Structure 1
């Protein structure tokens, strides 16, 4: 085909394209470093701007065209677009801008440059239709992750950027003379996806009206229920402003219609508060289902209200027997929070916005550490990735009172959680087990940090009982996590055994105090802590029995009466849980059997050490005797099961029960078993 014929065919096809010369295509922000279509990519001599055909406007007016580029003088004066008729009969009714050809050439050059920068392949030097993928595979990009991980090169058949044909590059030795391949200049994956990351889905205003709104009988009752939430959960997870919530509450009870995010926050908060103060779950479930009507709208944007909505949903799930997986909800919330950069130090327009963002992130951090350690799962974010500071100790009126504000307790809890997080990562990981001496030294350092935290914890006057008792509870649960058998401390020393036993008794005392005044939260987190503390006491007693069998002194010397009361309290609490949660009755029976076996072993060893004392014969236990409680229960008396005493240490045959030599291993296994059992049973 002659060159003139080829040029004619190209001109004939040119009219099929319309390209607005006044609005050239814009570049994404991440590609701002590339040459724009308006500027030449090389320093080649300028092409001729004249054309040999008069424009349509001059032809219709039968005037002489001065062929100015890109608009002639007549078109410029008239304010019209200067177009020329394309050659050929196919598109005779279509006109194109005078600078159409140059714009197309610029665009082709621009696209070729993008391909060269992204892939390292100079397609401008290749013939049209040349295969540029390895072995003809059009999807060779799937190899990029493996290439990055291994540092290997791209497929050998991918041509060199300097190549002028489609033939594969020679597989010669690598060196300075070897041609540069794609594998030596891997594409910048971050640059490829930067546009998508920087241009997330834009925020859309949420609807100002909401579906049905549930209300309690009066505003006074609603304020009382909401106050129960902020006086308990609000101290642990202060991601909502009490003042703002109460203002929305009054607006709702005055007949106002809340926005979708306020609607969701109001209903889920009231559902949680009703669950805390009532055994009946009917009313909380109604509020929960109402909150679900606006949950999609509350989550439609990537913003702080979405994080708060997920936190509220996770809190409800931790209290209720129904709802989504708390593990999945918290994971979603953590990814959204990091996407928003809440974990990083940054500037905000106002102090209020900054503090509420901090409160939301640290509430999420606190909740994540609690759930991960309870279920034996990884943490949602590493402490090394967090640079945002702790919230300031501000009151609702904006005054900052360190040590005596509404944020004093939450900030103190977060400080402990940061120590707690390092303990968990050190002891419960898949890394090689460190030497026992190193473990002992590390635990000693952790213990000093935890003790210092408890000694320096400020007391918030208006929550005196709550702060002190809550600090004690957190202190002993942290020690329990630190000293109980773990991956890096499978055989704890005497210090660990003593700390385990004493901490477990104190944890149970804390829960028993709440149970005695009718304020125990019947949630799976409470169940987990009670059961863990109970089996830890049994494990410590088994360590005592093992030491005596090996003619060593017993490491733990607890107060006998206090230890038995704590064990009995676990039995009672598990039985009470069984009345409210399906499946816990089996757990209570397992713990009763384990505790009976351990106490039988203790009694048997004591008899062996005192051979002159007659072996006690089985007796009729008779009617259940009232136990000695850890705290005086309010009237009416709290129903308790028979106390664990020597009368329960032998069976009806009069023989001592068989002592399982693997009891300690079974108790240690119970930690992991219960985590998995609970997570699967309650779909956590």
Structure 2
């Protein structure tokens, strides 16, 4: 009796049937259709085709792209092979092509092996090969050859492609750009839309003249959408919150409220930075501006470094082809705002520039208003453009004077500084005056002009001993810089940020350095090089002391800086008074007996000091009243009575020591202050 067949396992049978059904195709094969028989749709060959020994084929799916039929399992095999090839491309190059349309250029625009030709092109130096080689997609250039290079140019290497651009996308495992999330976390709102527009307007009225990387019209549109109950995208969420945080800090509002908006912006920071695009650059620029006003947050030095690397990776420093003129202009504004910030922060901290000027080939933005109309000399971009032009001169001055290159001869320094001075004077003479922004088109240009003069003429690594012209320019420019800050303080518009603190301190100690040069000339029986207005000079020093003390009430650590400056200024003014006495007195009026008692010398000096004060009285002490911040004052705020009662003797009735190294100490205090700034603000 034959054995009974084994009972099949129910689980395995069900799985097999399910797999068989999943591969069934409900299209009758060609063989069954011709015979007009019912097809059982078995996969991959139906029963009729198996019995007849013919290949089971079906009509091609979709539109009739071919006349011949295809095997029933060909579509599945092709799909498997496509997925396999897409996975290989993703692993080898980091490029995801699943969602790309067929025929989309990925690398080389048709020649997948073009980038392997680079070594041979460099070896042969063939210009024709270089010009015929296509550029990598997404590199930001239409060709790897240098744009605008003449065919007859004899420049070495001009015929070679940019190897870094060619290999960049091939050697990096770059994350593709993907759509940001459509929802955002919590949204903080001010009391009303009107209040939000007023607070945001403070940001654009101040920062847009220097860093115009945001569109005011676009931002206000997003603002109205948010206050109407809309849910912003992550990049808009981030931009809205941090702009409001900056504006609140600028208006001396509650710092806790500004911190709340800042922390809300950080909830979408990672989403705003997930792609290499313009919204990511804007998010980092906003973060850098926030760190200028706040005592907390990341290091502005690190933020700007990351932003510059992102901008260079995107090719913002070079001419590119954009989808629209608006996108092109906003990209230019973002890059040049970043350039402005980099030059300012680097020079303040005494650190290298983030990008060299010779590596920048993109043009400056055009003078276009928010409505798209171009108005040279009278647009919203006229003042920012003038600032950008100055920063380019500023950058060359900084690189020439503040570097470790061999020290040039005094003659070369004099000639070079004279050329820079002519450029600065020409820039100031050509600066446009806009009636709608008098503050920024007159006094603001003056302030930028004098700060650049100060950078150029003060002691530096390559010009440690400036000449008479430098001393005079330093002293006069420092007074003007301090006067600009004092005017803003008097009307309650001074920005209590570390950049203001640094510029104020630099100007103050430069005046002291100039006065020390005068004292040195007196010691050597020479005419003092700087002849300032006595009252204006003293009031400038007093203003620095007062403002440093006010900074100390708002920023930790500045009290030590104020004490150092007060000590330096006291020493300098003591030297001035002493040498002025020596010049006024005749030799016989001050007998030099070796056995004269010290107390008698002290009495004699006090009498001579009283006579000197009667002949040339100092400024009388004036009461000081602190202006209410935010409330304009009708008259100038009086200064505190400091330095006008400088004594030539201390509490022990002894003469103060005349320090011959005071000028050197003042020079090195620049570097000391830069380190202090970095420690105060974690820069």
Correspondence 1:489 to 2:459: no
Which residue of structure 1 aligns with residue 297 of structure 2?
323
8 Å CA contact retained: 2:318, 2:361:
yes
Correspondence 1:615 to 2:605: yes
**Alpha-carbon distance change, 648 to 229 in structure 1, aligned in 2, over 3 angstroms:** farther
Correspondence 1:195 to 2:170: yes
User: Please, what TM-score do these two structures have when normalized by structure 2?
Assistant: 0.72
Correspondence 1:603 to 2:587: no
Correspondence 1:670 to 2:645: no
Counterpart CA distance in 1 for 2:277 and 2:164 is 26
Which residue of structure 2 aligns with residue 32 of structure 1?
none
8 Å CA contact retained: 2:189, 2:227:
yes
Gaps of at least 5 residues in structure 2 are 1-43, 56-67, 75-80, 82-112, 120-162, 590-603, 611-617
Q: How many Å apart are 1:680 and its aligned residue?
A: 2.4
Alignment of 1:324-363 (within 5 A): 324-363=298-337
Alignment of 1:574-585 (within 5 A): 574-585=548-559
Counterpart CA distance in 2 for 1:673 and 1:639 is 31
Q: How many Å apart are 1:222 and its aligned residue?
A: 1.1
Correspondence 1:253 to 2:253: no
Counterpart CA distance in 2 for 1:79 and 1:491 is 89
8 Å CA contact retained: 1:211, 1:293:
yes
Alignment of 1:607-646 (within 5 A): 607-612=581-586, 615-616=605-606, 625-626=622-623, 634=633, 640-646=639-645
Counterpart CA distance in 1 for 2:262 and 2:70 is 67
Counterpart CA distance in 2 for 1:525 and 1:638 is 23
Counterpart CA distance in 2 for 1:191 and 1:292 is 35
Alignment partner for residue 433 of structure 1, among 407, 412, 435? 407
Counterpart CA distance in 2 for 1:634 and 1:449 is 37
Moved over 4 A (4+): 55-65, 117-120, 188-194, 627-630, 635-640
Counterpart CA distance in 1 for 2:584 and 2:69 is 120
Correspondence 1:568 to 2:542: yes
Which residue of structure 1 aligns with residue 419 of structure 2?
445
**Alpha-carbon distance change, 637 to 417 in structure 1, aligned in 2, over 3 angstroms:** closer
Q: How many Å apart are 1:491 and its aligned residue?
A: 0.4
Counterpart CA distance in 2 for 1:269 and 1:616 is 59
Alignment of 1:353-502 (within 5 A): 353-502=327-476
Alignment of 1:646-657 (within 5 A): 646-648=645-647, 650-657=649-656
Counterpart CA distance in 2 for 1:335 and 1:215 is 33
3-state SS of the aligned residue for 2:336? Answer: helix
CA displacement, residues 439-492 of structure 1 (integer Å, 9 cap, x when unaligned): 110000000000000011001221112321110110000000000000111100
Q: How many Å apart are 1:625 and its aligned residue?
A: 3.5
3-state SS of the aligned residue for 2:606? Answer: coil
Alignment of 1:482-561 (within 5 A): 482-561=456-535
Alignment of 1:198-217 (within 5 A): 200-217=174-191
Counterpart CA distance in 2 for 1:518 and 1:287 is 24
Q: How many Å apart are 1:642 and its aligned residue?
A: 2.3
**Alpha-carbon distance change, 228 to 77 in structure 1, aligned in 2, over 3 angstroms:** closer
Which residue of structure 1 aligns with residue 71 of structure 2?
79
Q: How many Å apart are 1:191 and its aligned residue?
A: 6.3
Q: How many Å apart are 1:562 and its aligned residue?
A: 0.4
- The answer to which of 302-311 and 552-561 deviates more is 552-561
8 Å CA contact retained: 1:599, 1:649:
no
Which residue of structure 2 aligns with residue 233 of structure 1?
207
Which residue of structure 1 aligns with residue 567 of structure 2?
593
8 Å CA contact retained: 2:626, 2:637:
no
Gaps of at least 5 residues in structure 1 are 1-54, 66-75, 83-96, 98-113, 121-187
CA displacement, residues 69-126 of structure 1 (integer Å, 9 cap, x when unaligned): xxxxxxx9661569xxxxxxxxxxxxxx9xxxxxxxxxxxxxxxx9xx7999xxxxxx
Q: How many residues align?
A: 522
3-state SS of the aligned residue for 1:535? Answer: helix
Q: How many Å apart are 1:192 and its aligned residue?
A: 5.9
**Alpha-carbon distance change, 646 to 673 in structure 1, aligned in 2, over 3 angstroms:** same
Counterpart CA distance in 1 for 2:632 and 2:189 is 34
CA displacement, residues 513-560 of structure 1 (integer Å, 9 cap, x when unaligned): 010001101111111000000000000000111111112211110000
**Alpha-carbon distance change, 464 to 585 in structure 1, aligned in 2, over 3 angstroms:** same
Q: How many Å apart are 1:289 and its aligned residue?
A: 0.6
User: Please, what TM-score do these two structures have when normalized by structure 1?
Assistant: 0.71
8 Å CA contact retained: 2:624, 2:637:
no
CA displacement, residues 407-426 of structure 1 (integer Å, 9 cap, x when unaligned): 11100000000000000000
Which residue of structure 1 aligns with residue 107 of structure 2?
none
Alignment of 1:132-151 (within 5 A): none
Q: How many Å apart are 1:678 and its aligned residue?
A: 1.1
Counterpart CA distance in 1 for 2:481 and 2:387 is 17
CA displacement, residues 279-324 of structure 1 (integer Å, 9 cap, x when unaligned): 5311111110110111111111110000000000000001100000
Q: How many Å apart are 1:636 and its aligned residue?
A: 10
Which residue of structure 2 aligns with residue 124 of structure 1?
none
CA displacement, residues 133-169 of structure 1 (integer Å, 9 cap, x when unaligned): xxxxxxxxxxxxxxxxxxxxxxxxxxxxxxxxxxxxx
8 Å CA contact retained: 2:350, 2:671:
yes
Correspondence 1:660 to 2:659: yes
3-state SS of the aligned residue for 1:349? Answer: coil
